[in-house]
Structures are given as C-alpha cells and as structure tokens.
Amino acid sequence: MTELARIETAAELVYRHMPPTPQYCWPLLCQRAGVEIWVKHENHTPIGAFKLRGGLVFMDSLKQRHPEVSGVIAATRGNHGQSIALAARLQGLKAVVVVPHGNSVEKNRAMRAFGAELIEHGDDFVDAKDHAAARAKQEGLYMVPSFDPGLALGVASYGLEFLRGAAELDAVYVPIGLGSGICGTIMARDALGLATEIVGVVAERAAAYALSFEAGKPVATASANTFADGVAVREPDPQALEIIRKGAERIVTVSEDEIEAAMRAYYTDTHNLAEGAGAAPLAAVLKEKAKLAGKKVGVVLSGGNVDAAVFGPILSKTAR
C-alpha cells in the first residue's frame, strides 16, 4: 500500500465519526497579513481540536492489535486527552487521563464529559507523563503516547484535506506540541508529491523543538512556561524530531504577545476562537509577513479550546 493510500484509509476511518473540516480564505485576515492566507479549521472537530483524528486511528489499531486491552492511560494538557477519552469510549475501553496541576479548567471538564477518569499530578506535562507511565504499570493500562506514528497517520488526514482543498499553497504553518500535527502535515505533503514548505511554530517560552531543530538533536529545556498549553513542551520526541528535521523548512518562535495578538485577530477577522497553540501559526505568518509577500500561505488553526478566564482578558486588550 502506498503512503497516500495509507493516509486515505486512515481518513476513511476518521470520517466514520466526523466530516472533513473546512479551509477558508478570510479577506480580513488576508488584509492583515498582506498575503493570500488559508485557514484549516481544526477547531471545528467534535473535540474542538485536530487531535481527535489521531486518537480515532490509533485506538482502532490498538483494538485490533491488542484485543486483550481493557483500558488506556495518557498524559496531556487537554486536547490529546479529549481525543483519547472519546476514541476509547467508542471502542468500549476505560480511559484514564493525567494532567498537571493548574491545567485548563474547561479542558478538564471536557475530558471528564467524554468519559475519562481525570488525575491531576505534577507541575507540567513531563511530570504528568511520568506519573501516567507509573500508573500504567501498576494498573495494567496501555500507555498511549502523545506522539506515535499511528497518531500522526490519523492527523495526516487533515493535511490531505488542506493541501487538496487549498491548492498550490507555497507554505503551511503548523504549531508543534509533541509533533503529530506537523509530522502528519509533512506525511501528507510528501504523499501528494508537493513542494509546499512546512513551517513549524513554537512559543519562545517553550522553544525545545526550535533549539533541537537547530542543534540537530533533542535539546530539552528547563521549563515550558507559556500560556499556550498545546505547545508547552520541554522534552522533544526523538522520532518526531527526525521527521521534522527531514521535512520542515524551518521553525519559527513567537512571543506570548504575538500569540495573544493572533488570537484577537482570529476573533475580530473571522469570529473564530483560537487557543494559544491554534493561533501560533497565524502569529508566525504575521511576524514573517515581509518575506511572504505575493505567496499563498496556509495556517492550521489546530484548536479553539481556550478557557473563558484566559480569553476574556486577551480579547479586552487594545488591538495591535
């Protein structure tokens, strides 16, 4: 089976539970960015984020490969956990999700609503991941990683939709958390045989992947203190990094202020909610607008799950 056929097969599985998401070219965003800009609306999935695609494909494969598994566990800052909770429920599996203390209140509520048992542990994602791994051994649960080729295969379905639906994109900007989003986009681009540049985006305060991309090897950071929880990663996944280094053009870092400005721009120009990670690609395009003149650019709005208590003060700030 070709790589394109594998992605199309994964997409068919995804479409049993959700339709393809739209890609729109918003005139006000184009005026703001000074380029033709297309938005892939992964904020329009049943969990409000792209992660569901990977969870559906991974969980279906897990059930086939390990029919004896009765429950799964995962660490998350929110969207991965919602994906695993919903996908596990569809397969009749118990789902346990571990989040750090201080995690998004509204994402926590959503994970519980999808059927997950929620555990709060540690100060950040790495602490939560270590605790989840220990609980997996203690309770005989299958540990679902935040990056896995099976997850990326499911996520590649949005890349396929985007690159077919908004033809001849010169570049696509994608946020990097653990890496399934950008790796899936690279997989789709390569499977279609396109020359589209794939540009990763991280927060300046969580720059592990940017540092690793430059160094050519995984570089961890001491903290990932960004409000954009979907990219708050301080330990890169080596397998994801290898794919990114081979397939991405570059990685752009954006500040907290730049992310906030992009969140406001999405709301004022399109009336869509974008969480921090979801707005980061637009922030990068606005930062690089001078070099993008005359190009056709895509951005992945990876999720819209932002707490009202976080978004309210951001929206109320004077527009830049």
Arithmetic mean of pLDDT, 152-168? 97
pLDDT at 171 > cutoff 80: yes
Look at residue 125 in the predicted model and tell me its pLDDT.
Answer: 87
Interhelix angle 51-65/180-192, rounded to 10 degrees, is 90
pTM value surpassing 0.75: yes
Look at residue 215 in the predicted model and tell me its pLDDT.
Answer: 96
Look at residue 201 in the predicted model and tell me its pLDDT.
Answer: 98
pLDDT at 320 > cutoff 80: no
Q: What gap in Å lies between CA 77 and CA 35, rounded to an integer?
A: 33
Look at residue 58 in the predicted model and tell me its pLDDT.
Answer: 97
One-letter amino acid for residue 227 of the chain: F
In the chain, where the domains are located: 3-50+149-316, 51-143
CB 265 within 8 A of CB 4: no
Fold of 3-50+149-316: Rossmann fold (3.40.50)
Cβ neighbours, 10 Å, residue 309: 10
CA–CA–CA angle 100, 240, 62 (5° rounding) = 75
Query: Hunting for tokens 């830049």 — which residue is that?
Result: 320
pLDDT at 50 > cutoff 70: yes
Look at residue 244 in the predicted model and tell me its pLDDT.
Answer: 98
Look at residue 223 in the predicted model and tell me its pLDDT.
Answer: 85
Q: What gap in Å lies between CA 60 and CA 28, rounded to an integer?
A: 40
Two tokens, residue 77:
């800052």
Of 179-193, 203-217, 306-320, the one with minimum mean pLDDT is: 306-320
pLDDT at 196 > cutoff 60: yes
Q: What is the largest CA-CA distance in the chain?
A: 56
One-letter amino acid for residue 100 of the chain: P
Cα separations in angstroms, 44 against 16, 214, 259, 301: 16, 33, 20, 9
CB 224 within 8 A of CB 233: yes
Interhelix angle 180-192/3-14, rounded to 10 degrees, is 130
What is the tens place of the pLDDT at every residue in 60-118?
A: 999 999 999 999 999 998 899 999 999 999 999 999 999 999 999 999 999 999 999 99
51-143 matches 3-50+149-316 in CATH topology: yes
One-letter amino acid for residue 277 of the chain: A
- Whether the CA torsion 162, 163, 168, 172 is positive or negative: it is positive
Arithmetic mean of pLDDT, 140-148? 94
pLDDT at 18 > cutoff 60: yes
What is the tens place of the pLDDT at every residue in 34-45?
A: 999 999 999 999
Look at residue 66 in the predicted model and tell me its pLDDT.
Answer: 95
Look at residue 78 in the predicted model and tell me its pLDDT.
Answer: 85
Look at residue 276 in the predicted model and tell me its pLDDT.
Answer: 97
What is the tens place of the pLDDT at every residue in 268-277?
A: 999 999 999 9
Is it true that domain 51-143 has CATH number 3.40.50.2300?
A: no
What is the tens place of the pLDDT at every residue in 220-241?
A: 999 889 999 999 999 999 999 9
Average pLDDT of every residue of the chain: 96
DSSP of 151-166: HHHHHHHHHHHHHHHS
pLDDT at 316 > cutoff 90: yes
